[in-house]
Structure 1
Amino acid sequence: MITITLECELSGQDQEPMMDVARGDVGLSRHLRNSLRIIRDKTNDSEFKEMADEVIAGKRSLREASQSDLFSRVLDSQVEKASMEISSMDSEELDRLARAGENQLSELGKDLSRETASGVQDDEDFDDTDYSNKTWLH
């Protein structure tokens, strides 16, 4: 068995582990963590839920998890559903969704800037925010 040492950069007082594939981008790391929570909450697969919790907690890398059959099985169904929805959208709707995604990432960066400037994380736990109604993850 290969042991993987996770690169964990810590931010704020909550010691939030950095997602390995985010390459130091705290906003992207938070976005990936939030997205994984949404997917975890939308599946009935208990094995996937356990694996997702390990990734979210920093006990397992997202890169490693994403290469597993379990990850592929759960995500394939989500991607297929999203692909069908996206293919039925007109270009205006696609542009709107793209702008919404860019705005979400921008907001994550602003949140990080405020946290860094104040030296403390906001009382509101960003990672508990459910953006599923604002994305294709229905």
Structure 2
Amino acid sequence: MDQPERTFDVARDDLGVSLHLKQSLTVLAAKSPDPDFRRLAADVLSGALGVRDLVASEAFNATLDRVIPLALADLESLSDEQRERLAAETRERMDSLAGSMGARDDAVAQGANPDEPADEDWNQQGGILSSDW
């Protein structure tokens, strides 16, 4: 039987936040041009490192130095209404993730073998996760 989904230390047992973080790290690890960052993100995803280890690394800070100014400029260009809509969509997405994992756990407990959801880029509007870096 499958193990329950692991929550990241920084998610404070919030499954939606943890799943969103997992998917975001998967995208970032795949798209980063920095091999050190990719390795660290993979180590966090495997459970070999914690999120706090990643954020304390030079590779993480170098990545932030490159991408955060662009992401902030994108965010600042949004209207208040667009920011609110984006925040609401993100909350719904995380709630949906947590709900789908609960349904998956129920199905596994009943002996079913549910399909895993396809990986997807959670930032459909651009920004860090969909950038070419």
**115-124 or 87-96: bigger deviation:** 115-124
Q: What letter matches 1:46 in structure 2?
A: P
Give unmatched runs, 5+ long, in structure 1: 1-11
Query: Higher relative contact order at CA 8 Å, sep ≥6: structure 1 or structure 2?
Result: 2
Aligned residue number for residue 102 of structure 1? 91
Deviation at 1:88, TM superposition (A): 1.1
Match among 106, 119, 123 for residue 132 of structure 1:
123
Question: Structure 2 CA distance, aligned partners of 1:130 and 1:37?
Answer: 9
Number of residue-to-residue matches in the alignment: 126
Q: 2:76 aligns with which of 82, 87, 107?
A: 87
Amino acid at match of 2:24: S
Q: TM-score, normalised by structure 2?
A: 0.81
The Cα of 1:87 is off from its aligned counterpart by: 0.9
Q: Percent identity?
A: 27
- Corresponding residue for residue 50 of structure 1: 39
Return the alpha-carbon distance in structure 2 between the equivalents of residues 54 and 76 of structure 1: 21
Change in CA separation of 1:130 and 1:38 when aligned onto 2, cut-off 3 Å:
same
Cα deviation for residue 135 of structure 1 reads 5.8
Structure 1 vs Structure 2 CA RMSD: 2.1
State the alpha-carbon separation in 2 of the partners of residues 66 and 113 from structure 1: 29
TM-score, with structure 1 as normaliser: 0.79
Match of 1:28 in 2: 17
Aligned counterpart, 1:19: 8
Structure 2 unaligned blocks of 5 or more: none
